Amino acid sequence: MTLDVPREVGTERSVAQVYDYGAHVWSWSLDGHDVLWTSVKSLFETGKALRGGVPICWPWFGPGRSGDLTPAHGFARISEWALAGRVDRGNAEVLTYVLDPEAAPGALPGEDWRVTYEVSVGDELELALTAENRGATSFSYEVALHTYLAVGDVRQVAIAGLDGASYLDKVTGQPEVQVGDVTIVAETDRVYDRGADVVVTDPVLGRRLRVASEGAANTVVWNPWVAKSAAMPDFGDDEWPGMLCIEAGNMLDHAVSLEPGGSETLRYRLAVEAS
Q: Residue 262: helix, strand or coil by DSSP?
A: coil
Dump the DSSP string for 164-203.
T-EEEETTTTEEEE--SSB--SS-EEEEESS--EEEEEET
Residues binding ligand TA6: what is the number (CB under 6 A)?
11
**With respect to ligand TA6, which residue has the nearer C-beta, 126 or 189?**
189
Secondary structure letter of residue 71 according to DSSP:
S
**With respect to ligand TA6, which residue has the nearer C-beta, 17 or 147?**
147
39, 154 contact by CB (below 8 A)? no
**With respect to ligand TA6, which residue has the nearer C-beta, 35 or 248?**
248
In three-state form (DSSP H/G/I as H, E/B as E, the rest C), the secondary structure along 79-126 is CECEEEEEEECCCEEEEEEEECHHHCCCCCCCCCEEEEEEEEEECCEE
CB of 191 to ligand TA6, least distance (A): 8
**With respect to ligand TA6, which residue has the nearer C-beta, 117 or 222?**
222
Residue 182 found at the interface with ligand TA6 (CB under 6 A): no
**With respect to ligand TA6, which residue has the nearer C-beta, 72 or 165?**
72
Residues within window 109-148 making contact with ligand TA6, judged by CB under 6 A: 146
Beta-bridge partner residues of 101:
none
Phi, psi of 85 (to 5 degrees): -165, 150
Residue 62 found at the interface with ligand TA6 (CB under 6 A): yes
Distance CA 221, CA 201 (A): 14
Looking at 247, 256, 267, 272, which residue binds ligand TA6 (CB under 6 A)?
247
> Residues 63-82: x/- map of binding to ligand TA6 (CB under 6 A)?
---------xx---------
Pick the closest to residue 25 from 47, 9, 41 (CA basis): 9
Residue 222 found at the interface with ligand TA6 (CB under 6 A): yes
Residue 49 found at the interface with ligand TA6 (CB under 6 A): yes
Beta-bridge partner residues of 94:
87, 120
Residue 245 found at the interface with ligand TA6 (CB under 6 A): yes
Looking at 93, 118, 124, 189, which residue binds ligand TA6 (CB under 6 A)?
189
Residue 251 found at the interface with ligand TA6 (CB under 6 A): no
Q: Residue 253: helix, strand or coil by DSSP?
A: helix
CB of 138 to ligand TA6, least distance (A): 26
Active site residues: 146, 247
What residue ranges bind ligand TA6 (CB under 6 A)?
Answer: 49, 62, 72-73, 146, 170, 189, 220, 222, 245, 247
